[in-house]
Amino acid sequence: MENRYKILIVDDDVDLSMLICDMLSDNGYVCLTVESLDGAYEILENEKVHLILLDINLPDGTGFELCRELRKVSEVPVIFASARTSEDDKIIGLDMGGDDHISKPYSIKELMSRINSLIRRTYGFKAKNINYTLQAGKDNVIEIDTGSRTVRRIAGDKNTDISLSLKEYDLFLYLCEHKTRAVSKEELVNAVWGAFSDVEPSTLTVHIRWLREKLEKEPSKPVFIKTVWGVGYMLEESNE
């Protein structure tokens, strides 16, 4: 069953990457592969990924360089995978912000186990299909189903589906996952558009406006998506 967690493989061994990608796909993951640092930066500018399998030796640099830059803007889990087996390399990778290290050649089953374990540790219950319910009065209830990626408004006995774009849904889901906490604009952009995204703050503002127009009964007086001045946005609810 598709779990929608996206894994980025950065490795110039194309055959190995395809083998791993097949295994990940069989286990419900979405898989992306690149062979260089430049390719990785391009993906990370435009995609939200949930874990990176990162080779150390790459044609245009080292995985250490990517991890160093990544940790300035993101906490996405990183597993270093390399034929370099010295203890110093493992320590450098972990000290730089890597979460795990596996030496080549490795067992594909062991790699799958490490990926599953790191996904569970990082995202916890989010790996399961769950529902979020927001309420602002008995006739203003919004429910999001992460299994089917559907959003609906519940008013008495009437349920109405709310059509959201992919980015609108991802943005709304992230706010649901961090409900009652002020989430900065930078964090939202990194989480929804990618760690190295060049998305302008105005793009986020526009998506928030679109979300409010679809979710709020009075978009100019939002009861769910609140602006936290000088920070970003926060998802709230009220039973009044």
**Residue 227: is its pLDDT beyond 60?**
yes
**Residue 181: is its pLDDT beyond 50?**
yes
pLDDT at 67: 93
CB 197 within 8 A of CB 188: no
pLDDT in tens, 83-94: 766 777 778 888
pTM of the prediction? 0.67
**Residue 38: is its pLDDT beyond 90?**
yes
More confident residue, 60 or 121: 60
In the chain, CATH 3.40.50.2300 covers 6-126
In the chain, CATH 1.10.10.10 covers 131-235
pLDDT in tens, 161-177: 999 888 898 899 899 88
What's domain 6-126's architecture? 3-Layer(aba) Sandwich (3.40)
217 in the Ramachandran plot: left (φ > 0), alpha (ψ -120 to 50) or beta? alpha
Q: Read off the pLDDT band of 128 (50, 70, 90).
A: low
What is the distance between the alpha carbons of residues 31 and 148, in angstroms, rounded to a whole number? Answer: 20
Torsion of CA 224, 228, 231, 234, to 10 degrees: -20
pLDDT at 3: 53
CATH classification code of 131-235: 1.10.10.10
pLDDT at 149: 80
